[in-house]
Homo-oligomer: A and B are copies of this chain.
Amino acid sequence: MNNTYGENIKLTIFGQSHSEAIGMTLEGIPAGLDIDETELMRFMERRAPGRNSYSTPRFEADRPEFLSGIKDGKTCGGPISAIIRNTNTRPSDYAKLKNVPRPGHADYTAFVKYGGKADMSGGGQFSGRLTAPMCIAGGICKQLLEAKHISIISRICSIGVVEDEGELSEDISEKAFPTVSDTAGQMMQEAILKAKAEGDSLGGVIECTVLGLGAGIGGPLFGGMESRISSIVFGIPAVKGIEFGAGFGASKLRGSENNDAFYYDNGIVRTRTNNAGGILGGITDGMPLTFRAAFKPTPSIAKEQESIDLETRTGATLKIEGRHDPCIVPRALACVEAAAAIAVYDALAGEANDRK
């Protein structure tokens, strides 16, 4: 199934970019827990489009309407369901693309998979818009984790070739453009605007850290935290790589360098370094769980591109007009946090069983 995630909770995402609505159902959340909708909206606004000069001008309130599962601000034990109406659709922008697949997009692959019968207006099911319901679910899980003193933070590690410097810490959440180094952040924003001006786009890397997660969450083999997190993070369109802790860098170290030495810090087990990204054998070790996700540059660019015409079966050129982010990374921070929150909440829920 493409649209469901989770073992102990079950998230289902539905909708196409230009269907009546997009939405989600989230089953398995216990009854009686507080959900703060104002806080949820704050979270969702971090991914909302149209907020600044480097994101798409398509502006939508994207306020979820809850249909079930929450009553008087508390979960009631049944599936939480919420929808967002698609009000600001401009299908005409997409009409001309019908037979000419956009390079870097799912147009061609969906054409083959669905035999030309998918509703691809606005990118259909493949639109980044489908991350909005993921953020509803993720925002809820994030709140529920915070009530257990588990927090999730993220930063932009790099945009194109511009890299951030320094260590991620909790106060990053206050920043509108979350880099540790404000200078690097400034350079990144300039790089985005420059790419935009040139009809081009940029990618980047997001780092995400889960703090406060105790040791013992996850499992061996396919139940490892890396498997659980990667399978949802790759559900965010444009993610092409993920690494945990030292990740690809660890492959260049020696065992004596990469192994994280254990020690007791006032009776608490910690490690001197955290190359493992807080995960050993698929199970959390109590150190911050860290990962980085690589985003490709937005494939929709104003520059003319080589493509094909699927009807005439000949070559074609393509200029994409519509409204598109020159760089999706700043808006994707919330999506990465949402994905992490869902995966972590799901894994934690399973522990109740494993220890009973």
Contact = CB atoms under 8 A, between A and B. Distances in A.
Interface residues of A: mostly helix, strand, loop or mixed?
Answer: mixed
B352 A77 contact: no
B67 A222 contact: no
A167 to B, nearest CB: 19
Interface in A155-183: 158, 160-161
Contacts of A294: 243, 247-248, 250-251
Given A10-B1, A255-B298, A76 B235 contact: no
B2 A269 contact: no
Contacts of A258: 104, 203, 296-297, 299
Interface residues of A, number: 152
A125 interface: yes
A315 to B, nearest CB: 6
Given A227-B234, A252-B158, A356-B30, A77 B114 contact: yes
Interface string A199-213: 011111100000000
A73 interface: no
B118 A259 contact: no
Contacts of A203: 250-253, 255, 258
